[in-house]
Amino acid sequence: MTGKSAFITLEGIEGAGKSTCMALVARLLEQAGRPPLQTREPGGTPLGEALRELLLGHRHEGMADDTELLLMFAARAEHLQNRILPALEAGRWVLCDRFTDATYAYQGGGRGIDLGRIEVLEQWVQRGFRPHLTLLLDLPAEVGLERAGRRSAPDRFEKETLDFFRRVRETYLDLARKQPERFRVIDAALSLEEVGTQVSRVIRDFLEAWS
C-alpha cells in the first residue's frame, strides 16, 4: 500500500449504528491528519439527494424493483463523477455512509434481484473501482429494527419486514466472506463503547498499513 488517499465505506442494516460510527471514524482520520470528505448514498450531490428523496419517500410506493436499482446507480454515477473521484484525485480521503454493497444487500438480497445483473451495473458505472476499506456493522435484524424504531417516521425501506432485513444481513455477510481483504466485520450488537473500540482498532490498523 502507498500513501495515497483512500475511500472508506460503512455498511450495515438499518439501526446498525453507521451514523454513530461515521462520526468516530471521521474523528480518528482527522487526528491522523487526514480529514475526510464525509458523504452518503443514495445522495452526496444535489441530483443524488433529489433521487434519495424519490427513493426513500412515500410518493412512489409501487416503484418497480428495477427502477429502484437503476435510480441507485444513477445517483452513484453522479456521486462518483462529481464528488468521490475528484476528492480522491485531489488527495482527500473519502468516508461514505453506504455504497454499492448496499445495492447487493438491499436490491439483491432484500428485493431478490439477480446479483449478476447488479454486477453488470457495478462494472458499467464503476469500471472496477471499489472502496479500499469497508466496515460492516453486523447485528441481528431484530436488534437493528428495535434501535431504529426509537426514531422518527419510517422511510420506504424501513417499512420492510423482518425477513427482508434478515436477507439483507445475510447478503452483507456473504459479501464480507468473499472479499475479506476489503471488509472488516464489526460486532455491532455490543455496547457503543465496545463497538467504538473495534472500529478504532480497524482504523488504526488500516492507517498503519496504508501509509
Q: CB-wise, 15 or 131, nearer to ligand Z5A?
A: 15
Asked if 20 and 192 touch (Cβ cutoff 8 Å), the reply is yes
Q: CB-wise, 19 or 211, nearer to ligand Z5A?
A: 19
Least distance from ligand Z5A to the Cβ atom of residue 5, Å? 21
Q: Please state, in angstroms and rounded to a whole number, the distance separating the CA atoms of residues 194 and 179.
A: 24
Q: Where do the DSSP E strands lie in 30-174?
A: 37-40, 94-97, 133-138
Least distance from ligand Z5A to the Cβ atom of residue 37, Å? 17
Least distance from ligand Z5A to the Cβ atom of residue 142, Å? 13
Q: CB-wise, 93 or 106, nearer to ligand Z5A?
A: 106
Query: Which grid coordinates are listed for 191?
Result: 455496547
Q: Please state, in angstroms and rounded to a whole number, the distance separating the CA atoms of residues 58 and 88.
A: 34
Name the residues that contact ligand Z5A, by CB under 6 A. Answer: 12, 14-20, 41-42, 56, 72, 97-98, 102-103, 106-107, 147-148, 150, 157-158, 188, 191-192, 195
Q: CB-wise, 17 or 36, nearer to ligand Z5A?
A: 17
**Which residues does 138 contact at the CB level (< 8 Å), separation at least 6?**
12, 16, 169, 172, 173, 176, 185, 186, 187, 188, 189
Least distance from ligand Z5A to the Cβ atom of residue 2, Å? 28
Least Cα distance to 174 among 6, 4, 57, 11 occurs for 11
Q: CB-wise, 4 or 27, nearer to ligand Z5A?
A: 27
Asked if 37 and 96 touch (Cβ cutoff 8 Å), the reply is no
Least distance from ligand Z5A to the Cβ atom of residue 93, Å? 20
Asked if 54 and 60 touch (Cβ cutoff 8 Å), the reply is yes
Asked if 76 and 18 touch (Cβ cutoff 8 Å), the reply is no
Q: CB-wise, 49 or 158, nearer to ligand Z5A?
A: 158
Least distance from ligand Z5A to the Cβ atom of residue 35, Å? 21
